[in-house]
Structure 1
């Protein structure tokens, strides 16, 4: 039978006085999903499966508002409370392959500790490493190295000048290279007119000696370039030695706190090595950022 209803009759209302509680905060949360007893049993079964390789997952689906998320979180919280506390997993830079970070496993809580200690260490090194390069000892040793190589460089160039004169040429340095000037019997440069007036045989002899001089110049300039490389390499090694001496105690103290965690110790050794190999990043107080790897 069809019956006409008033608007107020279309809304269901409950009398609050019929409830035995003042607030829903006084109620214990449901341990089930309403109308989904089988789902609860399946959830309990899934959580009870122990697999060392973690090959199983639980998939939960349902209409919005049915309480599935709250129920799953509640079951997971209860289950995890009965399990051993999981370790901290920390992903750190791989200095051999930036696209493949290392995963460090530490006891619970030690991951945050490691991060904090590394942050403090880097801040400290940004302050202390620049002071190494400003120290009197480092400047003094660097100066002696530069002076020693400068003497070798001067000796090479003087020898080049001497041998060139023995072959009858003087050398003239220009912004774009070294010119070879043939000399007359008095040791003065030949003018173009005087050279042109020489017999062909004598001109040919001068040209042959000029080839020797140019080969000598090329050889000596290569020697000078090698000397410059050796000087820079020696100064770089000097800087590494000085910085390593300064940072070694800091890393030693840090490593003492992670004895038995071999992967952490290996990472700290790699970090120390990378710092020593990239001192320019720290020279100006760490203001020079390292470029990220190209994709």
Structure 2
């Protein structure tokens, strides 16, 4: 493995890498399913002083109207927050049977028509100002990379891989990067040395659930946070929730639940930020001035 460029690590060295603004970690609030939830998240972040860099959505572009996407893009642009939207239909919602018995293929695109639907979602979201998309299928990722290269999609478009696309080692991370990923969501149960191995294989930002939804393992890894940041930087710390309902696809039928979950995710981020300040104050230094060039902030 060492000869192939992927040594097996017993301990985790300090990555020493940073985002473009010099910070080693950023907070991502997932499951921000629409403009109402985004407004609730922003308000709670202001109240608690949490620097939310990215929000991500799981129901998909197809579950949002043009007006809703435009409203989310406008909020993101005004606040300098990356707004990341999931692409298209997926196997778990389709008529096939395999995704009903295993989550391993839940986000896959079944058939070329489903890949085409992901492309249609990408084109619509980008036309409305979105510059960050969440991809759950390997083939769709490579297609989107090609569309970026030929100018059909914006060159600075962030392509974030989903936690439903298994990424648990360095060689796989390198493949995702070659296929067009610009930020990679890794397995929720990886050890700190595992994260260091992935960091050694790619310079892309790593996205990691620090508190994990129940259907992805339900781990709460707060006290590992300083070690995780040092080994995996630049890293997005994703604040999921244990003991919370799955809200995909989201909508008005869920009432206030999505917004309340968003507020609680921000509160969890505030707890983690305070913990980082106690464990390693050097990790919480203020970023450089100006908007980071590597954030997929909407363009409106």
TM-score normalised by L of structure 2: 0.18
Give the structure, 1 or 2, with the largest relative contact order (CA under 8 Å, sep 6 or more).
Answer: 2
Larger Rg: 1
Higher-strand-fraction structure? 2
Higher-helix-fraction structure? 1
